[in-house]
Amino acid sequence: MILCASIFFYAHNIDMPVRSDIGRKRQEAILEIIRTEPVARQTQLVERLRSRGIEATQSSVSRDLKALGVTKLDDGYASPETAQAASPSPTPSHQRELTLLGEFVREIDTAGDNLTIVKTAVGAAQRVAVYLDRTGWSEIVGTLSGDDSIFVATRNATEQRRLVAKLREQLDNRTVRRA
C-alpha cells in the first residue's frame, strides 16, 4: 500500500507528505489554539485539531505538548512564553503555588555539586518545575521534569546549598537527604 502511494505521488510529481511536516503543523496549531482559547484537557485539543482537519490522537497531542514545553496550569494549558511571563511576585496565586508545593514535594536530594533532585507526588513534577522556573531564583540555571522527579541545575556547590536552603524554607523545613 505504501509502495503504491509512493509511486502515485512520484508519477504525478507530488511531494508525499512527510510525518515531520504533519507533526510540525500539528504543533503549530496546538500553540495557536492554546494562545487564543482556554484548553483544560488534551481531548479538547484533539477535538479542536480535528475540526481544523489536522490528524491528532491523545497520545500524539501528549507528545507534542511535552516537545513544545507546554505546561498545564490551574486554568488550562499555557505556552512556554505565557508560563514564563507570569509574575513571580507574591500574589494569591503565588501563595496557592507555595501551598501546592508543600503538598506535592516528597523529598529533596542532591547529586554532586550542582544537581538537586526534587521528588514529587506522581504527576506533579511538571507543575512544581514551572513554579521553580517562575521564582526567578538566581541559583537555578534550569529545570528538567519527568513524572515525579525534577532535576534542578545550579552553577556550583555554593548556589546548590542556597537553593536547598530556600526550598527547605518554602517547604517548612522538611528533611533533605544529601547524596
Fold match between 2-84 and 92-170? no
Mean pLDDT of all residues belonging to the chain: 79
Q: What torsion, rounded to 10 degrees, do the Cα atoms 164, 165, 171, 173 define?
A: 120
The pLDDT score that the predictor gives to residue 83 is 56
State the pTM of this model: 0.47
Query: By the 8 A CB rule, do 72 and 126 touch?
Result: yes
In the predicted structure, residue 173 carries a pLDDT above the cut 50: no
Domain boundaries, given as residue ranges, for the chain: 2-84, 92-170
**Taking Cα atoms as reference points, which of 175, 32, 5 lies closest to residue 107?**
175
CA distance 111 to 148: 17
Query: By the 8 A CB rule, do 108 and 102 touch?
Result: no
Task: Classify domain 2-84 at the CATH topology level.
Answer: Arc Repressor Mutant, subunit A (1.10.10)
Beta strands in the chain (DSSP E): 71-73, 76-78, 105-110, 115-120, 142-145, 149-153
Assign 141 a pLDDT band (cuts: 50, 70, 90): very high
Assign 8 a pLDDT band (cuts: 50, 70, 90): low
CATH classification (class only), 92-170: alpha beta
The pLDDT score that the predictor gives to residue 179 is 44
Evaluated on CA atoms 125, 139, 86, 78, the torsion sign reads negative
